[in-house]
Structure 1
Amino acid sequence: MDVGAPAVFAFRRTLGAQRLLVIANLSSSAVTPHLPEAERDYWRDERPILNNVVGEDRADAALSPWEAKVYAR
């Protein structure tokens, strides 16, 4: 998924009714991913099930260097 930042690796997976969203900043600089509007709306109220940095839970929030988040719904 293109989120407007080459250093951000983002993808989604679906199996039946289950969805997974993974967003990772693979750089030493903070970056803000620009999720497509439909994805941003879908994940708006979700909290990550896995992350490596304590911070903002929103899927479209700025990512710290080397930060990764995984959302499930």
Structure 2
Amino acid sequence: MTIWDGLIWGGTALTAVGLVALAWCILTAARAKARITDDAQMRAVMRKVVVVNMAALAASVFGLMFVVLGIMLGR
């Protein structure tokens, strides 16, 4: 296993973590929409969801960049 293989597998793991976090955001927002009627509580939940969503998107993007770099440089 070369360093490029490690970069590919590390990027894959980072992308998977980002996708799991995105699924958590979707489920949390759907549950909040179904259960919470108070506007202030909904805003508090959505603030948290937006922060996790941005971090998850960043993790997924960086993970995919690592995978592409590992594939391109490993040739």
Q: Same fold (TM over 0.5)?
A: no
TM-score (normalised: structure 1)? 0.22
Larger RCO, structure (CA 8 Å, separation 6 or more): 2
Q: Which has the larger radius of gyration?
A: 2
- The structure carrying a bigger strand percent of its residues is 1
TM-score, normalised by the number of residues in structure 2: 0.21
